Amino acid sequence: MPRRTKSEAEATRQAILQAATEVFVAKGVARASLQEIARSAGVTRGAIYWHFKNKIDVFKALHDQLYTSFSERVLADLELDHPQPLEQLEQLCRAISLEFVGDSEKNRILTIFFLRCDYSGDLEAVLARQKERKAKSVQMLSEYFKRAQAKGHLKPDANTQVLTLALVSFLTGMIYEQLRNPELFDLTKNASALIDQFFSGVGKDR
């Protein structure tokens, strides 16, 4: 049997992850099996074991994929010395929100994390890992508020940590409600207005 190239192996891995999102959304993480994922991906179970230890490892890889994309984007954005950090953050939040509703793969992955997973048993360790990453995300986003304060765009006594937690809660709530109640919380239509509303109350002169 010929040895697979790196690109072929990566293509198989991505096919497995895409199939996993479909199976997890349809059945929930607890009830899904590797056999169903293999069937959906058009590969053997052996092919899955070549890339992943078990179902939990597949689940973790989906979170890795989403977190890596987000963190790399924020870190690249923070490399810019933007003259208006609050506007920079507002633009980032608007772009991320609109991309979420426009990207079916991200939509499915977040559906799994929010609605199709019971974080008990073997998944408790995964939840702990997600919490660590959420803390890192909060730390990254707080940098925008710190820079805004340093440039005099926030009051000197403004609590940048509280502002960051408020923003993360706001964005998380938007995504959750879009997944649960897409007719009422249609972010395709309302994301920009919701982001504008949040930032209208943030800043020294607002």
* CATH code of residue 160: 1.10.357.10
pLDDT at 147: 97
Percent of the chain, pLDDT > 90?
85
Count of the separate structural domains present in the chain: 2
- Rounded to whole angstroms, the maximal C-alpha distance in the chain is 68
Q: Measure Cα distances from 48 to 15, 58, 153 in Å.
A: 10, 9, 51
Q: In the prediction, which pLDDT does 4 show?
A: 67
Q: Output the pLDDT for position 205.
A: 59
Q: How confident is the model at residue 179 (pLDDT cuts 50, 70, 90)?
A: very high
At residue 204 the predicted structure's pLDDT band, cuts being 50, 70 and 90, is low
89 compared with 201, residue with greater pLDDT = 89
Q: Are 149 and 85 contacting, i.e. CB atoms less than 8 angstroms apart?
A: no
Q: Helix H segments across 79-123?
A: 85-102, 104-115
Residues 79 and 121 in one domain: yes
Q: Distance between CA 40 and CA 155 in Å, rounded?
A: 54
DSSP assignment, residue 151?
T
| One domain, residues 26 and 72 | no
Mean pLDDT, residues 149-177: 95
Tens of pLDDT, residues 105-153:
999 999 999 999 999 888 999 999 999 999 999 999 999 999 999 999 9
**Structural domain boundaries enclosing 32:** 1-52
Give 1's pLDDT tier (boundaries 50, 70, 90). Answer: very low
Local confidence band at 175 (pLDDT 50, 70, 90 cut-offs): very high
pTM: predicted TM-score of the whole model, two decimal places? 0.90
Please answer whether residues 185 and 177 qualify as being in contact, where contact means their C-beta atoms are separated by less than 8 angstroms: yes
Please answer whether residues 191 and 98 qualify as being in contact, where contact means their C-beta atoms are separated by less than 8 angstroms. Answer: yes
* Same domain, yes or no: 23 and 115: no
Q: Any idea of the CA torsion for 103, 106, 109, 113, to the nearest 10 degrees?
A: -120
For the domain that residue 29 is a member of, what is the CATH number? 1.10.10.60
Residue 121 lies in a domain: yes
Residue 205 placed within a domain: no
When pLDDT is cut at 50, 70 and 90, the band that residue 102 belongs to is confident
User: Are 21 and 107 in a shared domain?
Assistant: no
| Sole residue written with tokens 């920079």 | 88
Same domain for 133 and 98? yes
Q: Are residues 100 and 19 in the same domain?
A: no
Which pLDDT score, from 0 to 100, does residue 137 have? 96
Residues 74 and 47 in one domain: no
The answer to whether position 206 is within a domain reads no
pLDDT for 206 beyond 60: no
Are 25 and 107 in a shared domain?
no
